[in-house]
Amino acid sequence: MRNNTGFICDERYFWHDTGNGALFLPPGGWIEADEHGESPKSKRRIKNLLERSGFIDELTGIRPRAATQEEIEFVHRSSYVEKVKQLSDTLGGDAGELALVGRGSYEIALLSAGGVMTGVDAVMEGEVDNVYALTRPPGHHAETEQGMGFCLFNNVAVAARYAQKKYGLKRILILDWDVHHGNGTENVFYDDPDILFISLHQDGNFPPDRGAREDIGEDAGRGYNINIPLPAGTGNAGYRYALEKAVAPIADQFKPELILVSAGQDASVFDPLAQMMVTAQGFGEMGTIVKDIAERHCKGRLVACHEGGYSPAYVPFCTLRIIEALSGVQSKVIEDPYYNAIKGLPTEVLTKEQKEAVDQVIAITH
């Protein structure tokens, strides 16, 4: 019997070198050199937990192929792609705003975008129902002409364009639950009615001036860009409310033929780059809700693509719960090891502010 869920990963993803830093800043001035926030650590620990728990045996391992330069240029300007390549071939540097390129990062970024495309092929051809692609570097901040926020090429956007071209899809839903706004993906599809882009993010986080509720798309794409900015402190209850009351009804109207998820687990309660309160269990519930949408409309076809998540200790448990939800199989990791530290927090409380934030989006979309 085949496993329902594919898992895409490659050792090379962990070799993309972001160098020294502290959180998101490079060392220098008063910043002492430490490990950069977007290091391989949390991602490698996801793979390690899947292996250590034996859960990897419940998944279908799929090897990613690299995207070609031509495929990257479905989304990005060739001058920008050349710039990344040139930095990667020499000593590295910043390909935009906080978008670090190390030596050899270009080829790894091609493999990262290619990983999501490989996932699209796997679900479109029925090899598996859904896929979790543990790709790196991340993609959702990368814009057409510049990298941003640790992102070089916009993996999900490239994969969506690929799915349109190869399979002739007319309706693709991209759900971005990374805690930061998916500005790059929004930019690419802002006038495109064939792609419904929905971003859930912490209001005022990164980029600080993006992700407003009023940004609903333009021209033919008007109404196909949905931003759901949530107040700091939102936990499981707020995300559940947003997904059930805003995202699911909008998705049910749109009737996607394929769902791509920008799965950043940086809304977690332990994340150093945001101030949200989602627990591993909460991420599992989010996985279940989006899987149900995929089953209602597109035979379960869903590709989740890893984005951010900066708590090396906790992100593996959040991601494990998502993959459990996608596969419908429970791992041997029954309890959240960090439960005692979070059980007293109000993650299951939907505050008035959180409810209003979602209700205002619902009002706009009706």
Considering beta carbons, is residue 220 or 313 the nearer one to Zn ion?
A: 313
* Positions marked catalytic: 141
Closest residue to Zn ion, judged by C-beta, is 308
Compute the least distance from the CB of residue 151 to Zn ion, in Å: 9
Q: Please report, for residues 20, 89, 108, 228, the alpha-carbon distance to residue 356 in angstroms, rounded to integers and kept in the order given.
A: 41, 49, 42, 11
Q: Which helix (H) or strand (E) holds 302?
A: strand 302-306
Q: Please report, for residues 192, 207, 242, 305, 320, the alpha-carbon distance to residue 114 in angstroms, rounded to integers and kept in the order given.
A: 22, 26, 31, 11, 22
Among candidate residues 8, 167, 155, the one with its CA nearest the CA of residue 67:
155
Q: Scan residues 172-211 and list those touching Zn ion (CB under 5 A).
A: 178, 180
- CA geometry: angle 46, 137, 122, nearest 5 deg: 70
For residue 256, is it left (φ>0), alpha (ψ between -120 and 50) or beta? beta
Stretch that binds Zn ion, among 105-113, 183-191, 263-271, 326-334 (CB under 5 A): 263-271
Compute the least distance from the CB of residue 272 to Zn ion, in Å: 11
Chosen residue from 71, 266, 271, 336 binding Zn ion by CB under 5 A: 266
Question: Helix (H, G, I), strand (E, B), or coil: what is residue 84?
Answer: helix
Considering beta carbons, is residue 128 or 142 the nearer one to Zn ion?
A: 142
Considering beta carbons, is residue 256 or 309 the nearer one to Zn ion?
A: 309
Compute the least distance from the CB of residue 305 to Zn ion, in Å: 12
Chosen residue from 264, 282, 300, 316 binding Zn ion by CB under 5 A: 264
Considering beta carbons, is residue 64 or 139 the nearer one to Zn ion?
A: 139
Chosen residue from 308, 325, 326, 357 binding Zn ion by CB under 5 A: 308
Compute the least distance from the CB of residue 178 to Zn ion, in Å: 4
Q: Is the peptide bond before 256 cis (omega within 30 degrees of 0)?
A: no
Q: What is the DSSP letter of 268?
A: B
**258 neighbors 222 (Cβ within 8 angstroms):** no
Compute the least distance from the CB of residue 227 to Zn ion, in Å: 15
For Zn ion, the binding residues (CB under 5 A) are: 178, 180, 264, 266, 308
